[in-house]
Amino acid sequence: DVKVTQSSRYLVKRTGEKVFLECVQDMDHENMFWYRQDPGLGLRLIYFSYDVKMKEKGDIPEGYSVSREKKERFSLILESASTNQTSMYLCASSSGLAGEDKKYNEQFFGPGTRLTVL
């Protein structure tokens, strides 16, 4: 079974702090993703990575950065946390190999980190 783990389930930080959210997958997946989930807004993509040391901006990258030094690990960094970054953060990974019909690439999600910025 694919396992995606996130370093913390709950995190409370103060405004202005630097925050690191860690994600590790154990299936040798090429792709990794960071989303945030907010009520009424669904899942929004922050950043994703197709390979080690490669990253691409998603739909809402402002205020975030990422790091992927090893294939299995993808970190999300909040350089200076703000209250509007209070959210549920979800990490996901996928194999980079489309399914039989060549059109689908299932993403496997971690349990999420509930971040509160005070």
Interface positions with another protein (CB under 8 A): 4, 9, 31, 35, 40-45, 48, 50, 90, 92, 94, 96, 98, 101-112
Nearer residue to another protein within complex by CB, 22 or 109: 109
Nearer residue to another protein within complex by CB, 97 or 118: 97
Closest distance of CB 40 from another protein, Å: 6
Closest distance of CB 76 from another protein, Å: 15
Q: How many CA atoms lie within 13 A of 111 on its CB side?
A: 7
85 DSSP 8-state letter: G
Nearer residue to another protein within complex by CB, 17 or 108: 108
Closest distance of CB 116 from another protein, Å: 15
Q: Which residues on neighbouring strands pair with residue 47, listed in sequence order?
A: 34, 57
Q: How far apart are CA 109 and CA 73, in angstroms?
A: 14
Q: How many CA atoms lie within 13 A of 49 on its CB side?
A: 25
Closest distance of CB 20 from another protein, Å: 19
A 10 A CB-CB count for 43 gives 15
Nearer residue to another protein within complex by CB, 35 or 64: 35
83 DSSP 8-state letter: G
